[in-house]
Structure 1
């Protein structure tokens, strides 16, 4: 299993709209091949920062399957306008 980790810095004043759109986008990602689970957590110290954790069966389920899909275009349309700067995504596996 692969853990995708992204720190999301949302533009100031847009957190409520981001959270609303994220709930909608959650249905998109949850339907993807290889998707296991995800969670979005809001930072306690930095008001507009979140961490997104997504579990995938394989790295390719995320990097090729999801990112190469039409569903990803919908995800982007809903969420990418909120980020500043654009998040860096890393992938982890159990050691």
Structure 2
């Protein structure tokens, strides 16, 4: 499993609208993408215009090729993009094997 982490900064004062839009976009667009396995959204406390979107994908290619190169990506960006103060920083992560405690 791959974790996509998007660090999102939105325009000040648009939190309520963005929160409704991101949940709508996740549930109507991304949730139907091949390899999608779930998501979490975190909101900044010190910086209330900052959000972390964590999406679980079966493979890296499910996100980078299957989703990002599809029409669904354009639909997603049309829903959430108007709220961005700047383009999100997106990186991918994998989980380390569990560490044995001695």
Measured against the shorter chain, the TM-score band is over 0.9
Point out 4+ residue stretches in structure 1 off by more than 2 angstroms: none
Q: Distance in 1 between matches of 2:26 and 2:2?
A: 18
User: Unmatched 5+ residue regions in structure 1?
Assistant: none
Q: Which residue of 2 aligns with 1:14?
A: 14
SS at match of 2:88: coil
Q: Which residue of 2 aligns with 1:89?
A: 90
TM-score (norm 2): 0.89
Q: Which residue of 1 aligns with 2:33?
A: 32
SS at match of 2:17: helix
Q: Which residue of 1 aligns with 2:66?
A: 65
TM-score (norm 1): 0.95
- Number of residues of Structure 1 aligned to a counterpart in Structure 2: 95
User: Cα deviations across residues 18-54 of structure 1 (Å, max 9, x unaligned)?
Assistant: 1111121012111110000001111111111110000
Matched, 1:51 2:49: no
